[in-house]
Structure 1
Amino acid sequence: MPIKKKLINQLIFFLISLFTIIVCDLFKCSFALGSEIINQNDKSSKEPSKHTIALYEKYRKELPFADKRDYEEAKRGFIAAPKFKQVRSDKGHLIWDMESYSFLLNHKQYPSIHPSLQRQAELNMAYGLYEVIPKKIYQVRGFDISNITFIKSKTGWIVFDPLISSEMSKLALNLVNQNLGTFPIKAVIYSHSHGDHFGGIHGIVSEEDVNSGKIQIIAPKGFMEEAISENVYAGNAMNRRLYYQYGILLPRNPYGHVDQAIGKNLSTGTMGLIPPTVSIKKDYETMEIDGVKMIFQNTPGTEAPSEMNTYFPDMKAFWAAENITSTIHNIYTLRGALVRDALKWSKHINDSLYHFGKNSEVMFSSHSWPRWGNERIQEVMRAQRDTYANLNNSVLHLANKGVTINEIHNIYKLPTILQKQWAAHSYHGSEGHNSRAVINRYLGYWDSNPATLIPLSPNESAPLYVEMMGGSEKIIAKAIKLNDEGKYMHSIEILNKLVFAEPNHQRAKELLADVFEQIGYQKESTSLRNSFLAGAYELRHGIPKGNTPKSFGPKMVSAMSTELWLDYIGIRLGLNLPENIHFSINLFTPDNGEKFAIEFSNATLTNIKGFHAEKPDLAVTINRSDLENVMLYKTNLKSLEKERKVKIKGNRKVFEQLISMITEFNSSYEILPGTS
């Protein structure tokens, strides 16, 4: 093969591979979850201790279990359920499985589930088609972690948030058609930039209908950038951490995964994205589609960087997106994401209350169940508004009195009046990690003690602790005593040191797993329960293996900006790179007029948009559309060469150097030692 063709082949192969890796990382990070539930009858789980059971009895006395309104609202408007409870892909892997949670319908109080969390898990068992407003608003719930909503317009449907995967959104639409009649979809609204609110778009509409203008897709400002970028840069780490927060491969039983706070779990089918045709840019913007009047409220910086609520004035109905659901959300999400702003979140809810809440007769959202009646709506809005505000204000009050990030989670408590309201409970977030997030947002991770400013790594400090505590046998004996006393956090403090110092100490790992498990049982938050139970599982069995389907759509690739792609190349470069190499590349994509100067210097890759180097080592000209077609296998290199759509000028060895520096990320790295 001529050297020119060989090098062009290497370039295109590199681009295809890199984009594929990026997209796979992005969606395994967020939504490509284990397709089969492993070890459903895992025998290693232990029974709850007497201390855990005693804690449950305390909660049953203190919490407002007599308030059954949520149960009534979750059942209200039920029309029909599908005949199936499991959904498989064409290749046979499990996409959705409500059947695995059937134990929650047994009317039994499980001693291994926090009673408040079991209540939430039961409420999230709603499955099927529901009427929100007769002949006007309907929802399909229990087909994914999110709801899909259908607004009846003059001649068709306006759809809000088409779930994660196209298989599930298609089945939801079929259920609607079977029970309400078949009508065309006139518009789709993406409430925000998380994949469970747009990923199933191809199951309900076609790109042709959107591109022709037959169907509008409406989203808040900044949607495309946020939909792609949030999970890319740290995607591999997020993928690994996701197993802990979401417990994606935990057994589904009373000792394992029982709920995900805002829904049962995440579907694992085919995910895609059709870019919006309309962007809502103002704080408040009114629009009428096929006879339905809507007022959009942009709420950036709340549950998502790009998010909006919607009010239907003619129906007195308020759509709260994911800003108001049945739980207090994450200010810091444990899988990893930018820390959110609790005060801004509270203020946006307050804006919603004063603009729309005082006139609304129904409030519904992309998760959980609706609330009916103006008094009830205002009660829930105020409860969540005040919870986020109290979190922000009280934590900063304590911080200004010297309480640090390493103390706040043991001090901050929600006021008792809010603890008595179910809408103020943190099933998705938790007071503990959210309070630390507030301090981190304003003051960062350092507690201002110089001793913690440059801490030893755990594998360096642990042996010192073990030595000073008199060795492993004394630690084991002390941990057993602490466990017997129910002092689980104290037990973790010493067992964690032993496991890091001696990763192959099986007895230490078993004891630490037992402690993690009891703490997991005791937690009301699904994020905390799943994290502790996932840690216990790995200590007992090692890092789990499960099918992780690559559920991404071709339009996700085209939605990724070139700048984002170039930034990610810089992240994927290995460490200890040659410091004596310097090169520059000019990249030009004529069809969209973008140009970039890419420079490797000081063992670091950088890029700048809108500039070209004066004397580049290499210059590459390729249309962005042609590059996408190659990445999506719609064309091949030979065709592009014949059509002269790729131009390369300069030192081709630059490509070889760049390719040689790219590293592969492995999402099976150890979090707890001795588990790989």
Structure 2
Amino acid sequence: MRVSLPLCAGLLGLALPLLTQAGAQSATPHTAAANAAVLQQLDFTDRRAFEAAQRGFIASLPEGVIKDAEGRTAWSTAAYAFLQAEQAPDTVNPSLWRQAQLNSIHGLFRVTDGIYQIRGMDLSNMTIVEGDSGLIIIDPLLTPATARAGLELYRQHRPDKPVLAVIYTHSHADHFAGVKGVTSQAEVDAGKVQIIAPEGFLEHAVSENVIAGNAMLRRASYMYGTRLPIDPHGHVDTGLGKGVSAGPRTLIAPTEVISANGVRRIDGVDIDFYLAPGSEAPAEMMMYFPAQRVFNTAEVTSQHLHNIYTLRGAEIRDASLWSRYIDEVLEFYGERSDILIAQHHWPVWDNAEVRHYLAVQRDLYKYIHDQSVRLMNHGYRPGEIAEQLQLPPSLAGEWSARDYYGTLRHNARAIYQKYLGWYDANPANLNPLPPVESARRTLDYMGGMDALLQRARADFERGEYRWVASVMSQAVFAEPDNQAARELAAAALEQLGYQAESGPWRDVYLSGALELRSGSPAPAELDAGNQDLLQAMSTGMIFDLLAVRLNGPRAAGKQIVLNWQFTDSNEQIRSNLQNATLTWLPDRRAESADASLQLTRATLNDILLRRMSFPQAIQQGLLRIDGDQARLFELLGLLDEFPASFPLIEPLR
């Protein structure tokens, strides 16, 4: 029995990029010219962000490498040494190069008295607040190895105080999954450490991407460029940070939930919590430190345009509500904040700069929302809105509004989808042919593969890479083994990647090119680091996950009713297979069930983690079945195994 359980934000199991980009080409003259033009469009003489990012620097990692307990590399800043070159190569958009250089500034930084940050040592920041007798850790990074290394770096330069509280700002894994690098479940259970999170945190941390997790995880490998080399022809930056650390993800459930705005005193430190649910994350909160006049926006603001829709796939975020939260922060805290920090990127210093920055971020999300809806109501379709929407000069010239992570184009499409969905109201698009059949017929209309390749090569020479990528995608879907088609498609995607200002767009394009040339990755195995997440899932979530694995056509005509009793959690669940659909109800027991199962939730966890099988649990006396046990195995035999590395750039075969 196998189950895919990504933690959050599509980050589970993503390793550091290590492969070589086989067959990578240089930038064409068209790409070199496009990237050179960026230097004329933006003010690269403005070095204020570099000054802000370096201010308060104390120390960095001596070797730039973090090893986990088994000696494996969890993080390496040394891999990005090539970014020390002042001028971007032709294969990287100069604007993205600048952001990548800023994100490479790493180590321990002093924000102000009593507040420090670990930056550039994982995808996110870890903020350390000094209390009267101990430390308050805000967002312990993505993996225990990086969190532990960050805390050790802090303790080399500050008093060695114990961790007394950990605060999760929101429900994305890079803000909680390193928690066991700074504390332990035993310390929390003993009451030595508080775990504080916003209302809804645990539910969203374990459920946001579980049901569609296998698909999201595969797509995330493109978004974060996890198979790309770290070099000027491959991955250079995510925009949000350098990349994701490698290793297990951990979770300790909150001991205190923040359900209303207001001040809490933690170890002598007053923290004014401000909730922002439904903004950048379903459960999120910001916080103000009145004694230091410091506001922490968590991930509600960042030094770029964020994702209203994330390329790994997720529910659309509410850009209008997001903007309103920022407006409220500006209104209620703007005049009282001398420093603004966040859980990504570098601080904003000085009250006037704080207020200006908040106004830019507020208006950025509201402008995209309002203007996309305006054009939508004029009848424009998603692609047409994305093509014509432009920021006003007052926003476009702000570095903190650039497309380093989210982009104007895909965020505009997201607004349309939020309100009107995928259908653009053109009847021809209501029930189109499936991709492979459409591709084959299109190829026929174009005169066959040879004619298509000849015309596409001419378009490539003219620098029409978007069009070539589109038509060659049709060619690859029609004839996936045609190497000439694959290489031309890869070449077009590669040039688009070299020109991209967005880190994820670059990684997506280059990942597609890599897989056209070298194929899809080997299937990934379920990481044992899922244990903490699995234990945090409700039993109902597990049955929901099993239900989406049911192969409906194979289950047609079958009816199987099972009673499940979990002796350690005192739960009873009735599952029912009927009409090729698996449903369940809590606190129910069917008198006419085919079989009744008695086990612990811990045993079910071990089975899901593949530490044992159902037959082994029966043999070891950990699972008791009254009734027809063959019916259980009949149900299990109807569950699909999800392929972890299904193709994205070519058809399923």
Q: How does 1:589-600 map to 2 (within 5 A)?
A: 589-600=566-577
DSSP 3-state at the match of 1:418: helix
Residue 179 of structure 1 aligns to a residue in which SS?
coil
**Cα distance between partner residues in 2 of 1:545 and 1:115:** 34
Shift of 1:627: 4.6
Partner of 2:395 in structure 1?
418
Which residue matches 2:556? 579
Q: Is 1:84 aligned to 2:63, yes or no?
A: yes
Say whether 1:122 aligns with 2:127.
Answer: no
Partner Cα distance (2:525, 2:246) in 1: 8
Which of 256, 259, 283 is the aligned partner of 1:278? 256
- Looking at structure 1, the residues matched to 606 and 365 of structure 2 have their Cα atoms a distance apart, in angstroms, of 46
Q: Choose which of 126, 144, 162 in structure 2 pairs with 1:184.
A: 162
Q: Is the 8 A contact 2:523 2:643 kept in 1?
A: no
Matched, 1:22 2:1: no
Which of the numbers 120, 137, 151 marks the counterpart of 1:173? 151
CA distance in 1, matches of 2:559, 2:430: 35
The yes-or-no answer on 1:34 pairing with 2:12 is no
1:104: Cα distance to partner?
Answer: 0.1
Deviation at 1:132, TM superposition (A): 0.4
Q: 1:476 is matched with which residue?
A: 453
Could you tell me whether the CA contact under 8 Å between 1:221 and 1:280 is conserved in 2? yes
Which stretch shows the higher mean deviation, 661-670 or 181-190? 661-670
CA shift, 1:674, in A, is: 7.5
Secondary structure (helix, strand or coil) at the match of 1:296 reads strand
Paired with 1:642 and 1:466, the residues of 2 have a C-alpha distance of 58
Which residue of 615, 624, 646 maps to 1:669?
646
- Within the candidate set 32, 37, 53, 1:53 is matched to 32
1:111 aligns with 2:90: yes
Deviation per CA, 1:130-179: give whole Å up to 9, x if none: 10003x11011121111111001111110000011111111111111111
Give secondary structure in 2 for the equivalent of 1:180. Answer: coil
**Counterpart residue number, 2:237:** 259
Does residue 452 of structure 1 match 2:433?
no
Alignment deviations for residues 544-585 of structure 1 (CA, whole Å, 9 cap, x no partner): 459878262532221011011001111112242232211212
Give the residue type in structure 1 aligned to 2:378: K
Paired with 1:563 and 1:431, the residues of 2 have a C-alpha distance of 38
Please, which runs of 5 or more residues in structure 1 have no aligned partner?
1-16
1:361 to 334, 338, 346: 338
Taking a change above 3 Å as real, the CA distance of residues 596 and 44 of structure 1, as seen in their structure-2 partners, is: same
**Does the 8 A contact of 1:113 with 1:522 survive in 2?**
yes
Q: Secondary structure at the match of 1:661?
A: coil
| Alpha-carbon contact 2:407-2:502 (below 8 Å) kept | yes
Report the alpha carbon displacement of residue 244 of structure 1 after superposing the two structures with TM. 1.1
Contact kept, 8 Å, 2:17 with 2:228, in 1: the verdict is no
* TM-superposition CA deviations, 1:259-313 (whole Å, max 9, x none): 011110111122110100000111x122001110011111111111111101111
- The 5 A counterparts of 1:326-475 are 326-475=303-452
Q: CA deviation at 1:404?
A: 1.1
The answer to whether 1:526 aligns with 2:503 is yes
| Secondary structure in structure 2 of the residue aligned to 1:131 | strand
Match status 1:494 vs 2:476: no
Compared CA separation, residues 90 and 602, structure 1 to 2 (3 A): same
Identity %: 37
Per the TM alignment, residue 645 of structure 1 is displaced from its structure 2 partner at its CA by 7.2
- 1:304-362 CA distances to partner (integer Å, 9 max, x unpaired)? 11111011111111111111111111111111111111111111111111121221011
Q: Which residue of 2 aligns with 1:221?
A: 199
Shift of 1:238: 1.2
Read off the aligned partner of 1:176 and give its amino acid letter: Y
Stretch of structure 1 that moved more, 351-360 or 551-560: 551-560
Query: Can you list the C-alpha shifts for 1:200-255, whole angstroms capped at 9, x where unaligned?
Result: 11111121211121111100011111111112111111121112111111011111
Q: Distance in 2 between matches of 1:37 and 1:205?
A: 30
**Aligned 8 A contact 1:143 1:168 in 2:** yes
Deviation at 1:405, TM superposition (A): 1.9
Query: 1:386 aligns to what SS in structure 2?
Result: helix
Q: Distance in 1 between matches of 2:126 and 2:588?
A: 44
- Residue 547 (structure 2) pairs with residue 570 (structure 1): yes
Q: Is the 8 A contact 1:405 1:446 kept in 2?
A: no
In the superposition, relative to structure 1, how do residues 333 and 390 fare at CA in structure 2: closer, same or farther (>3 Å)? same
Matches within 5 A, 1:191-340: 191-282=169-260, 284-340=261-317
Return the alpha-carbon distance in structure 1 between the equivalents of residues 158 and 524 of structure 2: 36
CA 1:639–1:249: 2 relative to 1, 3 Å: closer
Residue type of the alignment partner of 2:217 = N
Q: Which moved more, 1:313-322 or 1:476-485?
A: 476-485
Residues 591/31 of structure 1: CA separation in 2 closer, same or farther (3 Å cut): closer
What is the TM-score when the length of structure 2 is the normalising length? 0.95
TM-score by length of 1: 0.92
Deviations 1:642-669, CA, capped at 9 Å, x for gaps? 9987553332222111121122111221
1:618 positional shift? 2.2
Aligned partners of 2:128 and 2:161: how far apart in 1? Answer: 11
Give distance in 1, aligned partners of 2:9 and 2:128: 29
Instruction: Name the SS of the counterpart of 1:375 in structure 2.
Output: helix
Is the deviation greater in 101-110 or in 190-199? 101-110
Q: Distance in 2 between matches of 1:544 and 1:643?
A: 37
Shift of 1:75: 0.4
* Structure 1 residues 550 and 528: alpha-carbon distance in aligned structure 2, compared to 1, 3 A threshold: same
Give the letter aligned to residue 141 of structure 2: L
Change (3 A) 1:519 1:627: closer
Alpha-carbon separation, structure 1, partners of 2:157 and 2:282: 36
Paired with 1:561 and 1:298, the residues of 2 have a C-alpha distance of 24
Work out whether residues 552 and 581 of structure 2, in 8 Å CA contact, stay in contact via their aligned partners in 1.
no
Q: Relative to structure 1, is the Cα distance of residues 161 and 27 closer, same or farther in structure 2, using a 3 angstrom cutoff?
A: closer
2:11/2:173 contact within 8 Å kept: yes
1:90 Cα offset (Å): 4.3
Supply the AA of the counterpart residue of 1:22.
Answer: S
**CA deviation profile, 1:470-502 (whole Å, cap 9, x unmatched):** 111221121122122222222223222222111
- Larger mean Cα displacement after TM superposition, 151-160 or 44-53: 44-53
> CA offsets, 1:600-653, max 9 Å, x none?
011111112343334322223434356557778999999998998755333222
Alpha carbons of structure 1 residues 578 and 215: separation in structure 2 relative to 1, 3 Å: closer
Cα displacement (A) at 1:370: 0.7
CA distance, structure 2, for counterparts of residue 270 and residue 388 of structure 1: 34
SS in 2 for 1:358: helix
> Which is worse superposed, 237-246 or 214-223?
237-246
Offset of 1:56 from its aligned partner? 2.2
Structure 2 CA distance for partners of 1:381 and 1:496, relative to 1, 3 Å = same
Measured against aligned partners, the alpha-carbon deviations of 1:4-63 in whole angstroms (never above 9, x if no partner) come to: xxxxxxxxxxxxx44xx334x558952312356011xx4622222222222223321221
What is the CA–CA distance in structure 1 between the aligned matches of 2:38 and 2:30, rounded to whole Å? 13
